[in-house]
Each structure stands twice: as C-alpha cells, then as structure tokens.
Chains A and B, each alone.
Chain A
Amino acid sequence: MTVIRTLDKDKMDVAEGSYAVAHAVKVCRPNVISAYPITPQTHIVEDLSQFMADGEISNCEYINVESEFSALSALVGSAAAGARCYSATTSQGLELMHEVLFNVSGMRLPVVMTIANRAVSAPINIWNDHQDSISQRDTGWIQMYAEDLQEISDMTAQAYKVAEDKDVMMPAMTCMDGFILSHVYEPLVLLEQDLVDEYLPAYEPEFTLDPKNPLTFGAFADPTAYTEFRYLQQQAMDNALPKIEEAANEFYEIFGRYYGGLIDEYETEDADIILMAMGSLVGTIRDVVDKLRAKGVKAGLLKVRTFRPFPAEAIKNAIKDAKVVVALDKNISLGLNEGSLFTETKASLYNTKVDVPIVGRMIGHGGRDIPEKTIEDIVEEAKGIISSGINTESKYADLKEELL
C-alpha cells in the first residue's frame, strides 16, 4: 500500500506547514499547551497563541514558559493531572529538554510534541537536518517523520491516538523538516474537526493527580524494581508497533488519507536498488525514482515513517529481495561515521537470513540543499556496488572537498 489521498477539492486550502500543524493541534482539543519560541518552530506556537487569543480552543490553557526545559516540565504536571498536552520545539530547545524527555516517558505521560527538525550548534545553524531528534532516540519517545504538509498535519491526530492507547501510554514526537515543511505553503485539507472527534476519543487516563484519590507520582525505584520499569517501557514500545499501523489504517477509513504506518514503499517490489530515507527527502527521492524507472533503472523507495519504535521487521521484509540498499541520513553519529537509519537497519539485518548489501550516505546536513542530481549520483554509485561490491560503507554524499 502506498500514499493514498482522496482529496476533496472543496475542502482544500492553501496553508503554511506550521499553520496546518497548529490547526491540527487545535482540533485535537488539547487542555494544556506549553512552549518556548525557537526558530523554525515559532510559527506553530504563534498560530496557537492566536487561536487562544481568539477563544478558538476551549478548555485549554497556554503556558508561556521561560525555557524549553520548563515547557516540557510543565506538561509533566499537566499530563499527570489528566490533561491532553502539546508542545513544539527543535534543535537547541530539544537538546535542552533532554532530561525531561526521559522523565515524561518514564512516567508514561502521552505528551505529543512537534519537532521542526533543525541542525544543532556548533556551528550554530538554523536550517534542517535530523540531528536534534535522532540524538533523542533513546529517551523513550515514539518518533515519526513526515514527508509533506498534509502528512505532518494528519500525523498529529495519529500521534495522540497511539500515545494515549492504554497499551502504549508513551509520549510521541511528530517530526517535520524545519523550513522545508514548517515554512512552506501547499494545498492541503486542514484536519477536519468532525472527523477528528470521530477518530480520537477523549483522553481518560487511569491515574491522575486527584485530591479525592491521592496517589504518588514519580517515586524512586531502587535496584529491586528499576529494571522492571524499563522493561515495561520497552514493552510499551513493542505494543506501539501494531498500534501505529492500526492508527494509520483507521485514519484512512475515516479521512481517506494514508501515508504508511511504520513504513511506506514505492516501486520496491521488483527493485534492484532501494533508497531508504525519512522526512521531506522522501518526496525528492520519489521524483528521482520516477525518472529512473522511465529510463529502465529498477529503483525503489523505502520511506521510514516511524523511527521509534524501530520497525526492524517491516524494513527487513521491504528490502530483503533488493540487490543493494542505500540508507540516506540527515544525521551523523560522530566517532562512528554513520547515520542512524543506516546503523540501525544494518544492525537489524545481522543474525537474519537476509544478506543484502547496504551502505549509508549522509546528506543534507545543516540545510544543505539536496538536488535530484545528488540522489542520481548515489544511485549510479549503487549500481557499481551490485557489480563489484561495497567500496565505502558510509560517507557524506555531498561533501565540499574544496572547503576542507
């Protein structure tokens, strides 16, 4: 199954990505929004502030905090008190939240947060890559990456659906490429209030901070119990795998739009060369695949939509018959010289019967443009791997040697 949209032209608007997200948040009926401004997330929180000023979000409080650390900390209190919670951030702001991210997840609070993905300092850079959210992969947050504006908008409702599921109860990040998606205008359907009300039930947590039923939240666990708390978090992530698929399928049934659940495939069935990627880059690759197919090159695209929980099984099934796989990463693990999608895909194939050559190419860091030509060159190189094996396992695909 691949991207399906039965878009009703009468329902379509032209909107900025940030506005589409803010609108999506509004129709999900949050109780507490807490955020701190940071480029390129600002338009989302400005639009939400305007909705508040115009009285368009009922039963909701917006907390203007003094830092990202407090933005997410406030939501610990709000979510524990039973509120549906929202925040948005990026880059330095997300890194500042690092400690709180673990806390929200460990306390099983299903907060949803949009990340307008941006590079991290130094050198300071406000443009897009995925280093910020990838660096938070072990914090216990579900992470999903959107390809375009319609998807990031719709993903907001899906994220609440999965995060608040009683078998999951884990927080979720919905990731959109900074500027490339956050500041771009596209024709789209703004998330429909009536359909969201049908799709997303009210948040009714089992345990809350309630004077009528006093409970203790955030107790300390010594070595006799700590491991079991962590085990249960992993179990919740395992539970999230089918729930993410279900949420995408149910969304399709109600809204008529589908982008994949854990992954999505395009022209992979008979593909010799499969390119894997996350985020807006997927759209560029789609066009390149069309061009190559027209020339008779059997290329395909594997869109990884969910990075946490990592959909190892789905990925393995999608690439097992290819002759070569290239994972494209907008992040690097310094000291390993690999991007995470590559590292984790490669690792998940080890100890299996799948023996497909896979290489990693890092690309588009700090907002460096990714023209189709760069992808085409990568495919050209991949053809060589089929005939003569892997030369370089992982490297930058768009390095400017002249600047070194």
Chain B
Amino acid sequence: MKSLFTSGHRGCAGCCDAMVAKFTLMAAGEDCVVISPTGCLEVMSTPYPETSWEVPWIHSLFENTGAVASGVEAALKAMGKKGDTKVIALAGDGATLDIGMRSISGAFERGDDITYVCIDNEAYMNTGVQRSGATPFDASTTTSPAGKISYGNPRPKKNMPAIMAAHGSPYIATTSLGYPKDMIKKIKKATEIEGPTYIHAHAPCTTGWGFDTSKTVEVAKLAVQTGLWPLYEMENGEVTKVRKIGKQKKPVEDYLKMQKRFKHLFKMEGAEEQLKLIQALADKNIEDFGLE
C-alpha cells in the first residue's frame, strides 16, 4: 500500500504524530482534504518547499482548524465537488482541547460533514512540553513541573470525547497508537459516517514524555492496559462498544515508570499517595466503561 504520508519528514524517531498521520491516511485514502493547525505535525511535514503530504493539505493557524475544515467542506459542496471527498482535521491536543475549542465546537454544533482526529500527546510538544488541558494528573511538564511543593500537573485530563458527544456527534471514538488496526478501523468508520465525527487518538511522545524512541507503541498499550486510557466508541451519544482489558490489566506504576514525566512519583516523599490517586482514576475508568 502506497503511503500517503511520505518518509523524509523531520519528525523524531518514534514520532507519534507521523504514525497517526500515516494511519489516518491509510484509513481515508486519496480522496480527502486534510486540515492541520500549527504544531509539530505541521512543522515537521511541510518545511517549504518540501512536503510529506500526498493528499491536499492546508495549515492556517493554531486555533481555527474546525472552522477551516468547515470552510473546505462548504466550498466543495457549493461548487458541486464534494462527492465522496472526505474532509479531515488532524490536530494536536492543545489545538483541539484548548485554543481551538471554540472553532471545533462551532463546526460540530453546525453538523458539518468533517472528521476531526485529535492526536493527543498530552502537552504542547512543539513549543517544548508545556501543559495543556489534556495533560494528565501529576505529569511534570515545563509549565507544570514537579518541585519541592508540587507533584506536577494538579488536574486530570479534560474529557474531550464527552464534550464532543454533548454536541450531538453521530460517532465518537477513542483509540491509541498501541492498537493501529483499531485506529485505522475507527477513523475509516468515522469518515464514512455523515456529519461531524470525532476520533481521540492517544499518542505517546517520546521527546515530551521521556521514553526510548523504540517504545511508543509499548507505552501506548500500557495506557490502555492500565485503564488510564479507555478505548470505546459512542454512537449518537451512547457508548456502543469498549475494548475490554481482561487479564491484561496492569497496575498504573507499570505505565508511569516508563516515562520521565512521572519519575518524581517514584522519588518524592509522600508520592505513594499520589500513585493511589492515579490508580483510582484508572479504576474509575475500568468501572465506568466496564473494561474488566
């Protein structure tokens, strides 16, 4: 199969963005237009005059991906060119959950026929690992550093899929780089459903999270196997399918230990209590989504 996201880009070894981009295009095929905001993906794939994109691709700004996607869709419709062409937004967590929230909300409320894929690597990686609304509880980032009186980010992740479900989206799914087939299947399904569909892809960043470049997939799997990142599908607001963890269930320490952003939790005095809180978050996911 021809890759529509070519090699030779400037992503790090083990880059999560490059992998999600590749899988997204494997799911979508050639007949699509991709919209990306400012971020690692944009910077590493389109240094003028080079490009890694073998499909039409546009970058405008950081906070307007939803609106630009709506505009592309409207233009194709108005000019009678929409046909089966898929309009796909491919954006990071900061551009989606934080600065771009207004424009994605507008696009989904209007019911525009787009598929929005959020590549969630849980911080602003392009600018040097600052916290975002997707940064998990107790992760140390450059703007939520662990310190003498801090265990890192004080808040859990914003529940973006629930927010998108509240917009009345016909299809929402979480997925993970640990399970590429799951990702491709869900993105394909999302692009085939009319209306605004949302895929939230958990995507470990080797540089920002601090793990070996060969471990992207392994780390991603552990997030799922601990229950910290539940995989599910929602159709018209209802959870219709989950990926069970079953016997694979692992303690959260297995996931946290692999990453430098959590290393303070294994050194600081009193951090055991923090580990219990994180385990409680995982347990709650397992219970809420019936993952056992």
Q: What residues of A have a CB within 8 angstroms of the CB of B67 in the complex?
A: 65, 69-71, 73-74, 77
Q: What residues of B have a CB within 8 angstroms of the CB of A82 in the complex?
A: 75, 79
| A248 interface residue (CB < 8 Å to B) | no
**Inter-chain contact A83/B78, CB cutoff 8 Å:** yes
Please measure, in the bound complex, the distance between the C-alpha atom of A34 and the C-alpha atom of B51, giving whole angstroms. Answer: 30
Which stretch of B99-107, B141-149, B202-210 is in the interface? B99-107
Minimum C-beta distance from A207 to chain B (A): 10
Interface residues of B in 51-85 (CB under 8 A from A): 51, 53-61, 63-64, 66-81, 85
| B291 interface residue (CB < 8 Å to A) | no
**Inter-chain contact A34/B78, CB cutoff 8 Å:** no
Given contacts A31-B78, A100-B60, 20 further A-B contacts (CB under 8 A): A34-B71, A60-B78, A65-B70, A66-B106, A70-B103, A74-B68, A77-B72, A77-B75, A82-B75, A103-B60, A209-B33, A214-B54, A214-B56, A216-B51, A216-B56, A217-B56, A217-B57, A217-B58, A219-B50, A221-B48
Cβ-defined partner of A76 (8 Å) among B46, B47, B54, B64: B64
Cβ-defined partner of B71 (8 Å) among A60, A76, A99, A222: A76
| A67 interface residue (CB < 8 Å to B) | yes
Q: What residues of B have a CB within 8 angstroms of the CB of A64 in the complex?
A: 110
Q: What residues of B have a CB within 8 angstroms of the CB of A34 in the complex?
A: 71, 74
Please measure, in the bound complex, the distance between the C-alpha atom of A75 and the C-alpha atom of B75, giving whole angstroms. Answer: 9
Q: What residues of B have a CB within 8 angstroms of the CB of A81 in the complex?
A: 33, 71-72, 75-76, 79, 81
Minimum C-beta distance from A52 to chain B (A): 11
- Which of A's residues lie within 8 Å of B, judged by CB? 31-32, 34, 59-61, 63-67, 69-71, 73-83, 99-100, 103, 107, 209-211, 213-222, 225
Please measure, in the bound complex, the distance between the C-alpha atom of A164 and the C-alpha atom of B75, giving whole angstroms. Answer: 17
**Inter-chain contact A211/B32, CB cutoff 8 Å:** yes
Q: Answer whether A215 and B64 are a contact pair too, CB < 8 Å, given A65-B106, A74-B74, A220-B48.
A: no
Minimum C-beta distance from A213 to chain B (A): 8
Cβ-defined partner of B64 (8 Å) among A60, A73, A83, A220: A73
**Inter-chain contact B68/A214, CB cutoff 8 Å:** no
> Who on chain B is nearest to A222 by CB?
B47
> Who on chain A is nearest to B84 by CB?
A211
> Who on chain A is nearest to B83 by CB?
A211
- Max chain A C-beta neighbours (<10 A), residue from B33, B69, B78, B80: B78
Please measure, in the bound complex, the distance between the C-alpha atom of A80 and the C-alpha atom of B53, giving whole angstroms. Answer: 16
Interface 0/1 of B97-127, CB less than 8 Å to A: 0000011011001100000000000000000
Q: Answer whether A70 and B106 are a contact pair too, CB < 8 Å, given A81-B33, A217-B58, A220-B43.
A: yes
**Inter-chain contact A66/B55, CB cutoff 8 Å:** no
Number of interface residues of B (CB under 8 A): 47
Q: What residues of A have a CB within 8 angstroms of the CB of B106 in the complex?
A: 65-67, 70
Q: What residues of B have a CB within 8 angstroms of the CB of A70 in the complex?
A: 64, 66-67, 70, 102-103, 106
Q: What residues of B have a CB within 8 angstroms of the CB of A63 in the complex?
A: 70-71, 74, 110
Minimum C-beta distance from A211 to chain B (A): 5
**Inter-chain contact A75/B61, CB cutoff 8 Å:** no
| B42 interface residue (CB < 8 Å to A) | yes
Q: What residues of B have a CB within 8 angstroms of the CB of A100 in the complex?
A: 60-61, 64
Top 7 nearest A-B pairs (CB, nearest first) are: A77-B71, A74-B71, A73-B64, A218-B59, A66-B106, A70-B67, A81-B75
**Inter-chain contact B70/A209, CB cutoff 8 Å:** no
Q: Answer whether A67 and B102 are a contact pair too, CB < 8 Å, given A73-B64, A211-B33, A220-B46.
A: yes
Q: What are 17 residue pairs bridging A and B, where the CB atoms are less than 8 Å apart in the complex?
A: A32-B74, A63-B110, A64-B110, A65-B70, A66-B105, A70-B64, A73-B60, A73-B61, A74-B68, A77-B60, A78-B71, A81-B76, A214-B30, A216-B51, A218-B59, A219-B47, A220-B47
Minimum C-beta distance from A267 to chain B (A): 47
Please measure, in the bound complex, the distance between the C-alpha atom of A61 and the C-alpha atom of B87, giving whole angstroms. Answer: 16
Q: What residues of A have a CB within 8 angstroms of the CB of B246 in the complex?
A: none
| B31 interface residue (CB < 8 Å to A) | yes
Please measure, in the bound complex, the distance between the C-alpha atom of A362 and the C-alpha atom of B53, giving whole angstroms. Answer: 52
| B201 interface residue (CB < 8 Å to A) | no
Please measure, in the bound complex, the distance between the C-alpha atom of A73 and the C-alpha atom of B61, giving whole angstroms. Answer: 8
Minimum C-beta distance from B171 to chain A (A): 22
Q: What residues of A have a CB within 8 angstroms of the CB of B63 in the complex?
A: 69
**Inter-chain contact B79/A83, CB cutoff 8 Å:** yes
Q: What residues of A have a CB within 8 angstroms of the CB of B68 in the complex?
A: 73-74, 76-77
Q: What residues of A have a CB within 8 angstroms of the CB of B102 in the complex?
A: 66-67, 69-70
Q: What residues of B have a CB within 8 angstroms of the CB of A75 in the complex?
A: 71
Q: What residues of A have a CB within 8 angstroms of the CB of B70 in the complex?
A: 63, 65, 70, 74, 77
Q: Answer whether A78 and B56 are a contact pair too, CB < 8 Å, given A209-B33, A219-B47.
A: no
> Who on chain A is nearest to B87 by CB?
A77
**Inter-chain contact A211/B103, CB cutoff 8 Å:** no
Minimum C-beta distance from A34 to chain B (A): 7
| B49 interface residue (CB < 8 Å to A) | yes
> Who on chain B is nearest to A216 by CB?
B51
> Who on chain A is nearest to B52 by CB?
A216
| B35 interface residue (CB < 8 Å to A) | yes
Q: What residues of B have a CB within 8 angstroms of the CB of A61 in the complex?
A: 74-75, 77-78
Minimum C-beta distance from B35 to chain A (A): 7
Please measure, in the bound complex, the distance between the C-alpha atom of A70 and the C-alpha atom of B63, giving whole angstroms. Answer: 9
**Inter-chain contact B71/A32, CB cutoff 8 Å:** yes
> Who on chain A is nearest to B59 by CB?
A218
Minimum C-beta distance from B76 to chain A (A): 6
Q: What residues of A have a CB within 8 angstroms of the CB of B85 in the complex?
A: 211
Minimum C-beta distance from A89 to chain B (A): 14
Minimum C-beta distance from B260 to chain A (A): 28
